[in-house]
Structure 1
């Protein structure tokens, strides 16, 4: 193996090892997992660390196996299932070095079954940025004191359903699925495969110690349309790929574009759904009455507006949901009728800001301005 090829071959080795045990939903997901594992060995180099989230709608989709294989390859792994906040805080603040947290069953922290997990949620929300701390109150005798504990560390998550936007927008999202009869993986036995995993991990650690001093200074070129928080998520992974060389820079950017685009297809919030449905309801009308809007909203196929907690959306409910977007009802006139309603023009700004195409698509999409100019 030539020195120039060592890093690319090492990532190829990680790719082959993980692919033996995990049935990834796509090649892009597999590449992203490899890059995330490598980035966890270079935490001192990054301004921020992306979480990687293995999510699925049903059990038995390979989420836990992805964490088990990660555990063999990442530095100082901590498998966080049913851990107490105090334990997790102490592990993250360990002077020996920050752990890599592998948090299975994350739906018990954020999902419908979640109970009193505010401290853990705070740690996971805060710890993506270098230098971040999590604040907590500590009772010593009769005195309540505050303390700030370092929160920055690499985190992999696995769970059913979805996660809050505060986590999803800071994550590489892998939508796992059950294996089809045609998909086969090797049976995993930790006692059998750990020695091989340790060898790969040691080589990753050796390469990381060699490149960590400089890799954080790199500004990897982002694919067109990947910006803002998506760029924050992918910057470390692309930097790892660029440092490795070979075909990894190209593979990483294909993975980036694919997974960022897929992340934009998630179920929208009710607010975004309302803006989108309002666009359908208005059609070519310039103004509509509140009553007419509600009737049309409730008649839309598969729309939630006819049954919000057992009741149809009301005049006040519509106003409350539109107000955060700067849209208010007003006195309008339609023919001989006068009453409360909404002007189409008042929606333009919100539609443009919140219903635009995904960042990847919008780079080449025709805008209203360019369309008008072409006519």
Structure 2
């Protein structure tokens, strides 16, 4: 009996380069880092069982016609068992993930119809997407009839890519590789995607990715890739599988992947508000209280509402006021573990309530991303009188 010859090794670096080139034919991504990240994400979907977590891939843009859906369409041809979901319920998704046919790769287009400003909270779907980020993630549901119901755990761990207008809930954003799409400029040309022709090419690449994944499984399983300096906590969870893929592929992919990691993490920190509270703290540090040790509440509110590209002048139809500012800052604490609260400030015009930078400094260090640039010029501080009024 003739032995089956071993499968020749596949050049992972060359294969990933082909995957990247396939994306480039049909999409103009905003940065070179985006091409690297998306190609690595395609490959990681074939090796989910090797990782403790799976990053979500998010194609987002402020306007239609920016290539989001096309990006998702190309991903669909390259990943295992794609499941295209538009307005799918959480129940349908977690049953699909736990089905005997195998774990799908969920591709969720028009995600803004689920989490956009005109949609409901959709906490069930949000919970499913958050739980499925971890390999241990499960969704608990009651099954059975009437009084015979029992609690059953449904596995939620699966790869998910989404596309939509605007943004996403903070808990999903922080678990995502974010690609901020934009409309093509007049001089940016792409090849029209024709499913009848190009799906076969994508599927051929998909099959080769699957074959390479089997060869790379031993290298990737249990790998602890070195993280770029400053990439820790949740961003490290997001990028660990992608860097492991890059290291397994070799060539220039380990260096390109780490460069892309740094650039996209920094971009997400600049764009991502983390929460409205973190956006408030960051704007206070970078724009309102630069070089100032104290400032009356009325001045803080005026300066926040005057900031361009900030949400404060229109919070659900109303500008930020002193009462809401107080409520938001009260959720954070000072270095002495006391809630941040306004204190008396004596000025030449009398005594006003306001906030001290020393009270905010600990929260700035703990929650805010590093400043992108140093401020060009500090605002002039108030000139307090020589007398002090205790808080």
TM-score, structure 2 length as denominator?
0.82
Number of positions where the alignment pairs a residue of Structure 1 with one of Structure 2? 359
Secondary structure, aligned partner of 2:154: strand
Aligned to 2:278: 272
SS at match of 1:265: helix
| Cα distance in 2, alignment partners of residues 240 and 232 from structure 1 | 14
Deviations 1:75-123 (A, max 9, x none): 1110111333333222100223211001101111111232473332221
Q: Which residue does the alignment assign to 1:134?
A: 139
SS at structure 2 position matched to 1:257: helix
Residues 139 and 60 of structure 1: CA distance in aligned 2, closer, same or farther (over 3 Å):
farther
Cα contact 2:26–2:190 (8 A) shared by 1: yes
Between the aligned partners of 1:23 and 1:297, the Cα distance in structure 2 is: 35
Secondary structure of 2:245's partner? helix
Partner of 1:166 in structure 2? 171
Candidates 335, 351, 363, aligned match of 2:364: 351
Is 1:44 the counterpart of 2:57? The answer is no
TM-superposed deviation, 1:150: 0.4
Which structure 2 residue ranges, 5 or more long, are not aligned? 1-6, 334-339, 374-391
- 2:209 pairs with 1:204: yes
- What is the match of residue 8 of structure 1? 13
- Report if the CA contact (8 A) 1:223-1:253 is conserved: yes
Change (3 A) 1:345 1:78: same
State how far apart, in whole Å, the 2-side matches of 1:89 and 1:258 are.
33
2:194 corresponds, among 180, 189, 209, to 189
Distance between the aligned counterparts of 1:244 and 1:283, measured in 2?
A: 46
Deviations 1:274-322 (A, max 9, x none): 3345445545554444445445555666765565455554443222111
Q: How does 1:48-87 map to 2 (within 5 A)?
A: 48-87=53-92
Aligned equivalents of 2:311, 2:176: Cα separation in 1: 28
Where 1:54 maps in the other structure, the secondary structure is strand
Q: Does 1:329 align with 2:342?
A: yes
Corresponding residue to 1:101 among 95, 106, 127:
106
Give the structure 2 partner of residue 318 of structure 1: 325
**Contact 1:38–1:240, Cα closer than 8 Å, also in 2:** yes
- Matched with 2:236 is 231
Specify every segment of 5 or more residues in structure 1 that has no aligned partner in the other structure, as ranges: 363-375
> Structure 2: how far apart are the matches of 1:20 and 1:65?
11
Separation in 2 of the partners of 1:203 and 1:32? 19
Compare 320-329 and 83-92 and name the one that shifted more: 83-92
Please report the RMSD computed on the Cα atoms of aligned residues, expressed in angstroms: 2.7
- Residues 119 and 136, structure 1, Cα contact 8 Å, conserved in 2: no
* 3-state SS of 1:146 partner: strand
- Verify: 1:31 aligned to 2:36, yes or no: yes
Deviates more, 1:112-121 or 1:316-325: 112-121
For residues 307-347 of structure 1, the C-alpha deviation after alignment (integer angstroms, 9 at most, x for no partner) is 54555544432221110112112455557945644333212
CA distance 1:144–1:200, change in 2 (3 Å): same
Shift of 1:152: 0.1
Q: Which residue of 1 aligns with 2:181?
A: 176
CA contact (8 A) 1:222 1:231 kept: yes
1:127 and 1:151 in contact (8 A); partners too:
yes
Aligned to 2:387: none
Asked if structure 1 preserves the Cα contact closer than 8 Å seen for 2:283 and 2:304, the reply is yes
Structure with more of its chain in helix, by fraction? 1
Aligned position for 2:154: 149
Change (3 A) 1:347 1:58: same
TM-score (norm: length of structure 1): 0.86
